[in-house]
Structure 1
């Protein structure tokens, strides 16, 4: 996944721990403040205390590190008025500035989000995974969890506890840096505890408390909740927000002596809550991935257009042609008037016309011919491309006239990056078809392309590099008849890693009526489109291009299973969609054409014999959105990988899913007969 996590601070710091765990559970690269960052989005888990000696310096350090990158920020220790007016103002200005600069800002609570002037998303802190209790609480113990510093509430709790008979206060943690000399009379301080020891010490506490004078998110509170404990929490907007989500566990407190006394005499207070809400790192990291997909989709999918190059490139214009000399002359005249400063050659690829075209021009013209064996536009374009001298290939149909500036607009992207595939703007009577206008709007001119955007590759106004064209072996020459060859070409280009671009400044006029008007009657139109759909179904394996339940020579998904996989698991995968299973080779599947070696657009490799997840389609979509490579994680264990042909990420994303081994009988006769 092309997200780089900027990790700053000691591992034991709560904010640093959050950053590390988010990287562990979501995937991506990791870097420090002084490292050279990989191109692409950066994620910053921010509290000013970790990034600089003062709030402004901390923000300066972040902005210097992420300069030139899109970036997201998880805000922690959000400023509050209770800190004091001067400190609050200094921190407020810094936090607001960073939020305005960020492409995506997130807090852990709605209370924190209300502080900011800019748009803020909310992802609540996760409940950590708590071990089973190791001991029962010691009667009368009051526990404060986490680093010790002024305002955390240790003094408040110690004072209140002295007013209630039989209570003792324990601080589970050590002093925060700079506060080692803080005096806490009557409080037992454990010092630093390892994670396992901390859980064990929490088990010994009878009355958990969170008594911060001001806090807006609390990892220590999440720990108590994850352990199923009831907690006394100082009243605040944040405390009430958490109480609404955990009504059985959070007791909001305004009077500490009374609250401690009530808890001490309530035998149920120390009992654990049996049913806990599911909100752990799996849910938190998935929520972050959802936001990254929305805000950084082109980066994650590897579809960031290059910076266009203004230097005029040499261009080969390829024009498939058949028996329409008048239109061809207009197309050539349009190329001549294009005012392109680089070298231009015209290649006419004649698809078996009755009379070969004889054209004169101020530009070099080459005519190549093939026999008339039906409508073979794909083969004609390939024939023309093979004759091209220049690296930039621009395809125009024989009835599509480019306006001035067309060649410069198309070639500037391809010169900048040979992976660029540029679609121009094709007008019909001065207007672009509505379906294309809709496509450019919701894909932001193909910047938001995905694995279905091959539908917007239009060969009549298309540009590629000769390098990329050769890499995918050009158009599919086996496609004979009108339509579909450009979609199939776009499909292979996308899976190869091409960058799709629509340039509204590359304008050409289509002389003939649109296909929908030109082809009549409706039965002919229906027959032509259905023939196109059938031709594409065997070539494009994406689910939107073929019907379910039909077996094709090539499946979309290829699943590799370990050798000890029981037959019911193999069958479950075969029933999960357009799937081929390459192993194991049980005799049960000898005649099944979907079992055996193959390659597909999507490969799934499992290290354990697990049934497909119920959310397989969502898992596959998430992997595609995050760069084409994902590690499947089930119950915090990596159990396999998903790889697309198009992989644009440096490291895999972590995909949390619900997979399970076969739970039924291993006696096949029982499975066959369902008894």
Structure 2
């Protein structure tokens, strides 16, 4: 029987969460004979290599990278080894609802140009207690545990941590019975956007941000047309958004599946490093695609939100469409300003004097033409939010 679905998981030091994720895949309603799971171990130093001996009912392949190759390359390695017509790409700490694989497969049969995301029904859950959890994570667990399982008392946890650095909360049968839901809490991505624009993101110009490889699915043929994950990204973040942007520009339909839940298992976090790596990688993303709907997210690091950014994309697209030759200096200014914002933030510098940071914008003749166009835009009253935000940026 041919393989119809390939599940690609990448992992780095996520044992036993990755084992729980595999157990959840054993619990799928989809025919295991038509499914394969490819686990790419990106140079883990924990017990992940034990999974070489894992023998599930579905086709399983363990691929070991002896040196850390990074998120993009690890995904590409897994996808290159895949044989299914539908690719499901997940992080190795994701637990999928039992109907997840079947639902995604049938959605792709109905629409071959689809990218299915799982952001709205996204939950976090505790399957492991780790001594390296931060204060917020322990607080969350205590709140969930107070009513769910009072026998795991705080003192007992402290005694366990004197002997062990990590405590598993479940066995295989508990995963099959979905008992991890007892320690789950809602953690949707960008719910305010889905509330306004729906699961098909209608009228939202940045649907690529929902292509988060916590869990997505895409046809193999679509993946091959768009190309692999960009291996120029280093560290955490944005390689999936850049891939999603190429899918979006290729004409793929991006939608969220609101009918199945996904559970991200808690693990120790390093938020500070992730924020800096995310900035560096987003600047790289913008360098690859210096378009307004990519660069405008720089404003979100300055306190704006994605709904405001989307309104700016609305006005920008309308301005360029109706006046393709009238505001050329304004069109040139936006990517310069966006790039300066990323550069200053990456170097922990205040975002000020943006006009003076650019050689182009310091040129007197260019600057006069730019200000003339900005005054024309303001006086027209046609694109007030775009004009106001541009004035706000150059006044910083």
TM-score if structure 2 supplies the norm length?
0.57
Give the greater-gyration-radius structure (CA).
1
Query: Where in structure 2 are there 5+ consecutive unaligned residues?
Result: 126-183, 299-312, 317-323, 336-358, 361-372, 384-396
Q: Which residue of the other structure, out of 519, 543, 548, is the alignment partner of 2:270?
A: 519
Structure 1 residue 445 corresponds to structure 2 residue 199: yes
Is the contact between residue 3 and residue 36 of structure 2 (CA under 8 Å) also seen in structure 1? Answer: no
Q: Which residue of the other structure, out of 98, 114, 123, is the alignment partner of 1:427?
A: 123
Matches within 5 A, 1:436-475: 436-448=190-202, 450-475=204-229
Structure 1 residue 360 corresponds to structure 2 residue 55: yes
Structure 1 residue 496 corresponds to structure 2 residue 245: no
Q: 1:447: how far off?
A: 4.2
Inter-CA distance 414–434: structure 2 relative to 1 (3 Å threshold): closer
Inter-CA distance 324–434: structure 2 relative to 1 (3 Å threshold): closer
Inter-CA distance 408–313: structure 2 relative to 1 (3 Å threshold): farther
Cα separation, 2, equivalents of 1:420 and 1:537: 24
Residue of structure 2 in register with 1:486 after alignment: 240
Q: 1:326: how far off?
A: 1.1
Residue of structure 2 in register with 1:394 after alignment: 88
Is the contact between residue 449 and residue 500 of structure 1 (CA under 8 Å) also seen in structure 2? Answer: no
Structure 1 residue 540 corresponds to structure 2 residue 289: yes
Cα separation, 1, equivalents of 2:283 and 2:124: 28
Q: Which residue of the other structure, out of 21, 24, 34, is the alignment partner of 1:334?
A: 24
Q: 1:345: how far off?
A: 0.6
Please state which structure has a larger fraction of its residues in helix.
2
Inter-CA distance 480–500: structure 2 relative to 1 (3 Å threshold): same
Q: 1:547: how far off?
A: 6.8
Is the contact between residue 236 and residue 274 of structure 2 (CA under 8 Å) also seen in structure 1? Answer: no
Matches within 5 A, 1:585-664: 614=377
Inter-CA distance 493–360: structure 2 relative to 1 (3 Å threshold): same
Is the contact between residue 484 and residue 536 of structure 1 (CA under 8 Å) also seen in structure 2? Answer: yes
Q: 1:396: how far off?
A: 1.5
Residue of structure 1 in register with 2:5 after alignment: 315
Structure 1 residue 345 corresponds to structure 2 residue 99: no
Runs of 4+ aligned structure 1 residues displaced above 6 Å come to 569-572
Matches within 5 A, 1:127-138: none
Q: Which residue of the other structure, out of 112, 117, 132, is the alignment partner of 1:418?
A: 112
Q: 1:483: how far off?
A: 1.1
Q: 1:413: how far off?
A: 1.3
Q: 1:423: how far off?
A: 0.6
1:628-654 deviations in Å (ceiling 9; x for gaps): xxxxxxxxxxxxxxxxxxxxxxxxxxx
Q: 1:329: how far off?
A: 1.2
Structure with bigger RCO (C-alpha 8 Å, 6+ apart): 2
Q: Which residue of the other structure, out of 382, 385, 403, is the alignment partner of 2:76?
A: 382
Helix, strand or coil at the partner of 1:468: helix
Query: Where in structure 1 are there 5+ consecutive unaligned residues?
Result: 1-311, 550-555, 558-568, 581-591, 594-610, 620-675
Inter-CA distance 345–335: structure 2 relative to 1 (3 Å threshold): same
Cα separation, 2, equivalents of 1:313 and 1:504: 26
Cα separation, 2, equivalents of 1:334 and 1:505: 17
Paired residue total: 259
Is the contact between residue 122 and residue 188 of structure 2 (CA under 8 Å) also seen in structure 1? Answer: no
Cα root mean square deviation, aligned: 3.7
Inter-CA distance 447–527: structure 2 relative to 1 (3 Å threshold): closer
